[in-house]
Amino acid sequence: RFSVNAGDLSVNGAARFAPDGTGLKKIELDNVTYGRTDVSGAMTPGDDGGWTISFYGKSFNLQPLLDSLFTDEGPGEEQAGNPGMRVSLSADIDRVWLGEKEYLKKVMGTFLRDGYKWRALSVDGSFAGGKRFKMSMAPGKKGNRVLSIKSEDAGATLRGLGYYKYMVDGSLDFSATFDDTVQGAPLKGKLVVKDYRIIEAPVLAHLVSIMALTGILESLEGDGLAFSSLDVPFTLSKGVLDIKDAKATGLSLGYTATGRIYTYAQIIDLKGTVVPAYALNAALGSIPVLGTLFTGVEEGGGVFAATYTMTGKLEKPKVSMNPLTVLAPGIFRKLFGIFEPDEKTEATSELLDGTTLSPERPVE
């Protein structure tokens, strides 16, 4: 038997060897506690040098695994003749922590790490209110990996994963593919959220205050501003999140966004269009021929809208708006914005100078 105690880590268990003493057969873990993890289980070595691990118990902190999932590299050491260690993990846990405050109940999970990447996983559980969450990853075409997240509580999911804390309720459908044939294994896909609310979001509040949309600002500060849909096509690679033609729609407000978020430096560089009275704008924009004249070619652009840019530090970006576009029909907004740069702004370049690539969870 053995006992290990080091700081927050406490492990108690027993090692089982072959009767003839030729090798380790199994490690039984009576109790493992570390931070918010409190489990029991067993570890069995494989003939290939890998491990089969099973855990069960009160709680498990999934944050480190999720962080490593989004920072795994593509072709690298394993192709240089070092395949790494194979780990197969199964878990049956009462409470699994996704982030600082959000957790899942009654979770069944399986995970497979082969070499230097998580090759497959399945996590099935529910949030405290009973809404379901399911996350899976499986091999796709050409050796790539397909990641899927489906949740009945989009707000809790995004808070738990550390991506956004101002959303409440909503259903979430996330589907993306890791391209393991490319260095850095870029993740390309789409996030779709339906029927959610945004509450006390300082950046959005600043944006609508510039447009003097008092009623919308009051909604943000109260029960929340309702949106019917959010559609975000994206590519995440080496700490840089590229967003192309993202669109959010609601009865009172709609907006579009295109640009980059440098997650490793917590710097944002986006531009798009804000559409007040979105439902009315959308109705006018659907008029044949005239609708295209009013809205321009940008999907979700609206008849009466304003273009904006958002740059700087992610926690407190600088928001600016082109005053010539506030009441201009869409085709003229394109004309007014013709000289706006497509590449990252000079201010963003200056902010990025001296930063190092250290991918981490984008927060807020």
pLDDT for res 354: 57
Q: What is the pLDDT of residue 300?
A: 42
- Other C-beta atoms within 10 Å of 196: how many? 24
Nearby residues of 49 by Cβ (< 8 Å), 6 or more positions away: 85, 86
Cα–Cα distance measured from residue 283 to residue 25, given in angstroms and rounded to the nearest whole number: 69
pLDDT score for 42: 97
Per-residue confidence (pLDDT) for residue 277, from 0 to 100: 59
Whole-number CA gyration radius for the chain: 24
Give the per-residue pLDDT at 303: 52
**Which parts of the chain have pLDDT scores under 50?**
74, 77, 80, 278-280, 284-285, 287-302, 324, 327, 330-343, 358-364
Do 239 and 306 touch, CB atoms closer than 8 A?
no
The dihedral through the CA atoms of 267, 272, 277, 283 has a sign that is negative
Task: Identify the pLDDT of residue 183.
Answer: 83
